[in-house]
Amino acid sequence: MLTYSKRTDPFTGEEYLEVPFKGQFLTEHPMYNKGTAFPDEERHSLDLCGLLPDGVSTLSLQKQRTYESFAAKSSDLEKYIYMLSLQDRNETLYYALLQDHLEEMLPIVYTPTVGKACQQFSHLYRRRRGLYITSRNIAHIDSILNNAPFANVSLIVVTDGERILGLGDLGSNGMGIPIGKISLYVAAAGLHPAFCLPIQIDVGTNNEELLKDPLYIGLRQKRLSGQAYDDIIERFVCGVRRRFPNALLQWEDFGKGNAFRLLETYQERICSFNDDIQGTGSVAMAVLLSAMKIKKQKLSEQRFMMFGQGQAGVGIARQIITGLVKEGLSYREACGRVYGVDKDGLLLEGMTVSEEQKPLLKSREEIAVWKVSRANQITLLEAIRNSKATVLFGVTGQAGAFNDEVIAAMADNTPLPLIMPLSNPTAKAECTPETIARVTNGNYLTATGSPFKPVMVNGRERAVSQCNNLYIFPGVGLGALISGSPRVTDRMFMAASEALSNLVTAEELNSGKLLPHISNIRYVSSQVALAVAREARESGLGARGDDEKLLQMILNAMWEPKYLPLRYHKPDFSF
């Protein structure tokens, strides 16, 4: 196992990288390869003579060349494949290009294109990246983790492939998600790619189409569950704690039945979080805080309707409850302000629900005075009308679920309803901003899960903010790592929400934006990281430096993709 080492020459003060290879091996390692940008002196000192064309390029010229190739691709999937091949060839160039064209390339390297790529991952597979842990090799977990490209891993993104985006069980094809997520950590928060490790836990798949596909690269068996599944996860976590004791672990795209349970089981044992649950809740809370500035009201003056009770819905509800408690409500009072509706209607006492849904159960006494057609199955529209909800979230993937009648009911409850159709892709959004604007006569606030163009309202263009987890998880990860906190807490996510909302300018609020522009994501991530590190400090979990010192630590840790001089150093493979 190699150690990625940046050194400073004690005589010249020059920063350089120690490289363990020379010649062809050096050009084939994506973390060290410079391609045509190797200068003449390195071509001689590192045995590269004759392996490269004579012309020496700058990073700027390489970006120009690669962007030209990227733009020439005729489909988003072809662009994804091109970017993945570039990443496998030269990570510095990949991230330099991605950082320059982040807004354009985000939909390519992650959602929605990564979903299509995952569906075809076995057919697109070209080169290994990350680690694959299966029920067949889990007994060798220590040896597997020792196969990580570098010894100094600080971030692990892991999936079991059971709930990949809105596509369901993709088994080992889900590896595209941890790979893509790490690209966002690097691009948005400057985590160094050498310190990031994608992992696929392959326990089989219940996707018959994949099991019948002769090109499927994963374990050909039905998905494990119960104790057999839990044993694999336990051995995995214990292995990570032994090999990378200071690493942050992010759970990604686990099925609902496991996601909450694993989060609860391990969040006190290893520094970890689930972005689908906590990240989604945190960015939604930031939108709420921005909306309160426009409404000039408090969270505690609102009533919240959650349509959809999966990971995202419960995650948002939990974060709202945390925010309400911070404003002074008791936990029970806070739960009373949040209403949950799923396929069986409003969540009521006596219903069979999961453990994480129980805080939202409403008493039969409370709804006894409601005007409903069926007391045991209260519809979304009835719940909105009777609860007087002022904020509506949609996380169901049911296109058109927020019809004119639902939106009008929200407008009847408050002069300025906040309506958030958060499902993605666009085709699954509960409604469109245009529909909200039309039904409310322009008196509304909104943020969406998918990107939408601005809406014309009374002759004026109104922006639509995308409620993207990218605003939260990179900064939370960076802040947790910088602080050295042994865990990631709900209060850290609340601090992240507040920091994000505070970055929205008055001008942006006036234009309808409830989140800052994505082009400022590196600055956003640094401020979110600072808020998380500050909360860690104040709760006694993290570094005790003042804000100025913490911010400097954060900025120093944020990697910029650029070429450093390379010097050969014979590697020490002991560990």
Report the 10 Å Cβ neighbour count for 269.
Answer: 13
Contact 497, 282 (CB under 8 A): yes
Residue 53 shares a structural domain with residue 64: no
Contact 315, 338 (CB under 8 A): no
Residue 260 shares a structural domain with residue 319: no
Contact 267, 273 (CB under 8 A): yes
Residue 251 shares a structural domain with residue 358: no
Q: Examine the fold and report which residue of 418, 451, 470 is the final residue of a domain before the chain moves on.
A: 470
What is the spatial distance between Cα 132 and Cα 154, in angstroms, rounded to a whole number? Answer: 18
Beta partners for 2?
Answer: 150
Residue 45 shares a structural domain with residue 92: no
Residue 147 shares a structural domain with residue 257: yes
Return the ∠ at Cα 415 (arms to 409 and 418), rounded to 5°.
70
Residue 38 shares a structural domain with residue 63: no
**Which residue range forms the structural domain that includes residue 201?**
126-270
Task: Note whether residue 67 is domain-resident.
Answer: yes
CA distances from 338 to 227, 329, 383 (A): 34, 13, 11
Task: Note whether residue 375 is domain-resident.
Answer: yes
- Catalytic site includes residue 16: no
Q: Looking at residue 573, what is its pLDDT?
A: 56
Residue 366 shares a structural domain with residue 377: yes
Q: Looking at residue 543, what is its pLDDT?
A: 82
Contacts 24+ apart (CB under 8 A), 18-21: 18/567, 18/568, 18/569, 19/46, 19/566, 19/567, 19/568, 19/569, 20/568, 20/569, 20/570, 20/571, 21/568
Provide the whole-model pTM: 0.95
Q: Examine the fold and report which residue of 58, 83, 98 is the final residue of a domain before the chain moves on.
A: 58
Q: How far does the chain reach from its first CA to its final CA, in angstroms?
A: 7
Q: Looking at residue 531, what is its pLDDT?
A: 98
Q: Looking at residue 479, what is its pLDDT?
A: 98
> Which CATH number covers residue 17?
1.20.1370.30
What is the spatial distance between Cα 448 and Cα 104, in angstroms, rounded to a whole number? Answer: 18
One-letter amino acid identity for 536? A
**Which string of DSSP letters, residue by residue, matches 410-448?**
HHHH-SS-EEEE--SSGGG-SS-HHHHHHHTTT--EEEE
Task: Note whether residue 464 is domain-resident.
Answer: yes
DSSP state of 276: I
Domain count, the chain: 4
Helix/strand/coil percentages in the chain, nearest 5? 50, 10, 40
Cis peptide bond upstream of 10, omega within 30:
no
Residue 20 shares a structural domain with residue 131: no
Residues of the chain where predicted confidence (pLDDT) is lower than 50: 575
Task: Note whether residue 244 is domain-resident.
Answer: yes
Rg (CA), the chain: 25
The tally of CA atoms less than 13 A away on the side-chain side of residue 137 is 14
Residue 52 shares a structural domain with residue 63: no
Strands 391-394 and 455-457: unpaired
> Which CATH number covers residue 430?
3.40.50.720
CA distances from 541 to 143, 480, 533, 544, 548 (A): 31, 10, 9, 9, 18
Residue 300 shares a structural domain with residue 378: yes
What is the spatial distance between Cα 378 and Cα 90, in angstroms, rounded to a whole number? Answer: 56
Q: Looking at residue 1, what is its pLDDT?
A: 76
Q: Looking at residue 330, what is its pLDDT?
A: 98
Task: Note whether residue 149 is domain-resident.
Answer: yes
Instruction: Find the catalytic residue in 34, 63, 181, 362.
Output: 181
Beta partners for 358?
Answer: none
Residue 248 shares a structural domain with residue 382: no
Burial level of 185, CB count in 10 A (0-12/13-18/19+)? buried
Task: Note whether residue 415 is domain-resident.
Answer: yes
Of 445, 369, 459, 456, the closest CA to residue 407 belongs to: 445
**In terms of residues, how long is the chain?**
575
- What are the φ/ψ torsions at residue 7 (nearest 5 degrees)? -120, 165
DSSP state of 516: -
Instruction: Find the catalytic residue in 32, 94, 95, 110.
Output: 110
Residue 54 shares a structural domain with residue 65: no
Contact 109, 83 (CB under 8 A): yes
Q: Looking at residue 221, what is its pLDDT?
A: 98
> Which CATH number covers residue 227?
3.40.50.10380
Joined tokens for residue 129:
């990246």
- Estimate the crossing angle of helix 91-100 against helix 59-72, to 10 degrees: 70
- Catalytic site includes residue 80: no
Q: Looking at residue 570, what is its pLDDT?
A: 84
Task: Note whether residue 155 is domain-resident.
Answer: yes
- What are the φ/ψ torsions at residue 78 (nearest 5 degrees)? -65, -35
Look at the block and give the residue holding tokens 């994506």: 30
Task: Note whether residue 363 is domain-resident.
Answer: yes
Q: Examine the fold and report which residue of 470, 493, 528 is the final residue of a domain before the chain moves on.
A: 470
Joined tokens for residue 154:
């600080």
Look at the block and give the residue holding tokens 């994608």: 198
Contacts 24+ apart (CB under 8 A), 551-554: 551/526, 553/482, 554/478, 554/479, 554/482, 554/526, 554/529, 554/530
